[in-house]
Amino acid sequence: MKSPILFKTLTLLSLFLLIPFSMIANVPVIANTLNTPTNTEQPKRLKRTLSGHTAPVRALTLSASGQVLASGSDDKTIKLWNATTGALLYTLTGHREGIKSIVFTPDEQTLISTSFDNTIKFWNT
């Protein structure tokens, strides 16, 4: 199917370059297969969905140990999740507007959040 297009392209190219088509037609074409996916690769599958916020989630952070995931939402809450099981651990409330960003301290003892209410809050975890 693509041979006519290739033939026309090479013919036009030979006209512009003033090279006889017969010289171009004898050049072997080799496909690059270095980055081609193989049939042995497994498709990516959804592992887990966490539900609980009542508005869009705007911020996520994972604790240094990888055990706790924190999510911040426009519903003005921060939810702490068990990253392994997906279980909801705690819901933190106190901001008057949606959550802008969240981060765990390296020792995982404190969660810091910012909000569109122009405040920064420190939470014991």
Residue given tokens 């209410």 in the structure block: 117
Burial of residue 26 (CB within 10 Å: 0-12, 13-18, 19+) is exposed
What are the structural domain ranges in the chain?
1-28, 57-124
Which helix (H) or strand (E) segment is 11 a member of? helix 3-17
Burial 96-105 (b: 16+ CB within 10 A, else e): eebbbebebe
Distance, in Å, from the CA atom of 102 to the CA atom of 115, rounded to the nearest integer, reads: 9
Low-confidence ranges of the chain (pLDDT < 70): 1-40
Class of domain 57-124: mainly beta
The per-residue pLDDT for 32 is 59
The per-residue pLDDT for 8 is 55
The per-residue pLDDT for 18 is 58
Q: Is the pTM of this model over 0.85?
A: no
